[in-house]
Amino acid sequence: MTDTAGSSSATPSTPSTFPVVIAVANQKGGVGKTTTTVNLSAALAELGFRTLIIDFDPQGNASSGLDIDARRLDATMSEVLLGTESLENAIEATAEKNLFIAPSDKTLADAAAEVMTKDRVSPNTRLRRAIETVANDWDYIFIDCPPSLDMLTINAFTAASMIVAPVQCEYYALEGLRDLSWIVNEVKENLNPKLRVGHFLLTMFTHTTLANEVEADVRANYGDLVFKTVIPRNVRLAEAPSQGKSILKFDPSSPGAKAYRAVAKEMSNGATPRTR
Ligand code: ATP
Ligand code: MG
């Protein structure tokens, strides 16, 4: 992944032009992708940035975590992927100011399979084309990816300008990043030359020797591409989705809320929301 980022400046996350489209990805399951998508988006929304989450995982965890039941909606990311609804129609407001979501449920897996069999020409650019139709309305667009390097993730990488990869501080963390790096380079060469790995985010950190070693390893390999902020293991982050809220609303002074606010500051790097 160092290759991918080779041309980046010292502040790789500076948004030169809005919207910044970010795929939150790591094919390893349970590393904090959805927790990061929801809470980093909420922290940027709190700073005044108009932020859209695209739930692109059939598990639909970002949607349910923000109290949106995609099963009751006519327009979800399944219909957007199939091309029968516009992305604009699929966007729902959340209870949090400036924070919106285009939700998903398990029908997204069938929609992906259908597109793969029927669209032989450009199945991987469908999300990008949908995002282009709403791009001007948003400062940040986050795509929550499933835990695999499948068609949905490739669509997300094709649409994104940047990848944020949450890395859980445990053994084998670096091995998974090598597979991710390979796919990123393939997409970059074939579908999306502007794609870069914006940042790695260390998640679920506990003060153990192992976690310290993993952090040191990731920083030694990826340097400036690793967010300075580390997300601590904090049970409040695991509890917030059951109340349908981000950590910023659920427990604003918790260590998890403070950490995601700090990541949002690093990411926006002094930029201000577009005036509308
Ligand atoms: P999947 O690959 O299934 O989509 P994921 O990578 O999106 O998973 P999450 O769902 O964000 O991972 O997190 C996995 C579990 O760990 C969830 O139960 C979540 O609430 C919990 N969790 C995530 N981050 C933290 C944290 N920093 N502290 C405590 N619990 C956390
Ligand atoms: Mg998830």
Q: What is the pLDDT of residues 97-114, one digit of tens each?
A: 999 999 999 999 999 999
Ligand 1 atom with the smallest distance to the CA of 35 is: 11
Mutate to test the pocket of ligand 1, among 31, 33, 35 (most ligand atoms within 8 A of CB): 35
pLDDT band, very low/low/confident/very high, at 178 (cuts 50, 70, 90):
confident
- Average pLDDT over every residue of 242-254: 98
Ligand 1 atom with the smallest distance to the CA of 238 is: 20
Nearest CA to ligand 1 atom 20: 238
**pTM of whole model > 0.75?**
yes
Ligand 1 atom with the smallest distance to the CA of 204 is: 27
From ligand 1's centre to the CA of 26, what distance in Å?
A: 12
- Confirm if 143 and 21 have CB atoms less than 8 A apart: yes
- Confirm if 64 and 110 have CB atoms less than 8 A apart: no
From ligand 1's centre to the CA of 136, what distance in Å?
A: 31
The beta strands (E) that lie in 91-179 are given as 92-93, 99-102, 140-144, 162-168
pLDDT band, very low/low/confident/very high, at 4 (cuts 50, 70, 90):
very low
Mean pLDDT of the chain: 92
Tell which residue, 191, 174, 171, has the closest CA to residue 23: 191
Nearest CA to ligand 1 atom 17: 238
> Is domain 20-268 classified as CATH 3.30.300.100?
no
